[in-house]
Amino acid sequence: MTDPKFEQLQQRLAEVNNLTKASTLLFWDQRVMMPPGGASARAEAIGTISTIAQERFVDPAIGKLLEELRAFEENSEYDSFEASLIRVTRRDYEKATRVPPELVGDLNRASAVALSAWGPAKEESNFEALRPYLETNLELRHRYVECFDPADETYDVLLDNYEPNMKTADVRQIFEQLKEELVPLMQEIGDAGDVDDSFLHQEFDQDAQRAFSLEVLRRFGYTDDEWRIDQTQHPFMTTPGHGDIRLTTNYRRDDLSSLFATMHEFGHGVYEWGVDESIAGTPLGSGVSLGLHESQSRTWENLIGRNRSFWRYFYPRLQATFPGQFGSVDEEAFYRAVNKVHPSLIRIDADEVTYNLHIILRFELEQELIDERLAVRDLPEAWNARIETYLGVEVPDDARGVLQDMHWAGGGFGYFPTYSLGNVISVQIWERLKEDLDDVDERFERGEFDDVREWLRDHLYRMGRKFSPQETIERVTGSRIDAKPYVRYLREKLAPQAV
């Protein structure tokens, strides 16, 4: 008992999806395969395809169909594909149609230009070279925010693009709790003395790293039939189509960080891969929010990939791959090294504890910028002061400080908190998983990850975007977002008495 209008809606959305997927491939190829000479033609192609995708999505015909389908939606079960598609599309449509196409163009262009300026600015550690672009980005965000009904806080409107329905006040509360617990935890760990991780900083053959990473991925569920992995400077995951999951990683010569980056990107990939077949290719067919997405990348990177039982299985294999480097390092020493907590300057290299302080700092600063309590020109100073307060480290230059991340240049204000929300959510889901699968560690020790992956698929991945992030978390865990399990996990795993 479907409605022909519903089929029309599906058809229009399929077209938008195909345009978006084409654009995804243009982007992937640009970063991974394209000879540099193709850059300018590629920018044009991406511009055309994304504009058409946007035009076709905000087409009033879609608004009309959504109105005409209200009764159909109400007569369908809340959980049904039909009701979910209409509900989620309506929300997307209402947001998208608020923003005039010219402003969308301005936002995209300004981000592209600022991103191009970011690279050299970071290279030269020259914040002033980036400053005007950040100012433009911020100004454009204010114009963007004005397109929406007034929110409790300006930042709410931006946050909503990455973590739908989440309020800044809620994030603040969670982050206050994290700060309260993690700063002293970091102290305790520091007081207990340094962990030796020097053996992680040696030369590692890149082909061997690649082979070992692939061995791990294949155990996780990677197949050549539906995945590929390539090398890029900045690792990322993207899906140019259902059944086509693409990871990238960066095999560095002098450490094993790529292995963890690979498991991280696998976590993003397996979430997309696990979306139910029936909603693939529709607006419901992907991860529901950046926070939930990050919960899965951190699950596979940290909860699994830095787990003692994971290394019980894999460490002998790693030793066999790098006998010169690890022949005389025992499993416990290796485990402690890959879990070493140590305050440092760079977010992406940070450990599980201090990572969150990097995020909290960014979250606070970007609110101050948005609320105009902090001027862009004063940002480096504010950054350096706060890093010192939270992490006790001194910033030697802006390249290793405020310029290290591309997010603000790319216009991504409101993006950072989703990283720590992901950490928090990951452990909530993990605790729930361990109630159902009580011998997780034994499975890992045997190199078995299928049941864990399938549990996550059945309980989380399949849903895609059918429900809001909050509904999704509640459906998986039975409770609202809550920092306590995460803090407990960190303390149990990493506090001095635990090690």
How many other C-beta atoms lie within 10 A of the C-beta of residue 221? 19
277 interacts with a copy of itself by CB under 8 A: no
Interacting residue with a copy of itself among 8, 18, 125, 202 (CB under 8 A)? 18
Interacting residue with a copy of itself among 7, 44, 123, 146 (CB under 8 A)? 44
Find, among 175, 156, 170, the residue nearest to 370 by Cα: 156
The residues in 200-239 that bind a copy of itself, with binding defined as CB under 8 A, are: 224-228
Structural Rg of the chain based on CA atoms: 23
- List the x/- string, 237-276, binding to a copy of itself by CB under 8 A: ---xxxxxx-------------------------------
281 interacts with a copy of itself by CB under 8 A: yes
Residue 366 to residue 150: CA distance in whole angstroms: 19
265 as an active site residue: the answer is yes
Residue 218 to residue 363: CA distance in whole angstroms: 36
Give the shortest CB-30-to-a copy of itself separation in angstroms. 10
Contact 463, 154 (CB under 8 A): no
Contact 47, 19 (CB under 8 A): no
Number of residues near a copy of itself (by CB under 8 A): 39
Interacting residue with a copy of itself among 2, 7, 38, 253 (CB under 8 A)? 38
26 interacts with a copy of itself by CB under 8 A: yes
Contact 19, 241 (CB under 8 A): no
222 exposure class (CB count in 10 Å sphere: 0-12, 13-18, 19+): buried
Name the residue nearer to a copy of itself (CB basis): 239 or 354: 239
Name the residue nearer to a copy of itself (CB basis): 62 or 427: 62
Residue with tokens 């300006």: 154
DSSP string, 307-320: -HHHHHHHHHHHHH
Give the shortest CB-64-to-a copy of itself separation in angstroms. 21
Cα 413 versus chain centre, distance:
14
- List the x/- string, 377-416, binding to a copy of itself by CB under 8 A: ----------------------------------------
Give the shortest CB-40-to-a copy of itself separation in angstroms. 7
Q: Cα torsion for 403, 404, 405, 410, to the nearest 10°? A: 30
Name the residue nearer to a copy of itself (CB basis): 37 or 60: 37
Q: Which of 82, 265, 352, 366 is catalytic?
A: 265
Rule CB under 8 A: which residues touch a copy of itself? 14-15, 18-19, 21-23, 25-26, 29, 33-42, 44-45, 47-49, 52, 224-228, 240-245, 280-281
- The residues annotated as belonging to the active site are 265
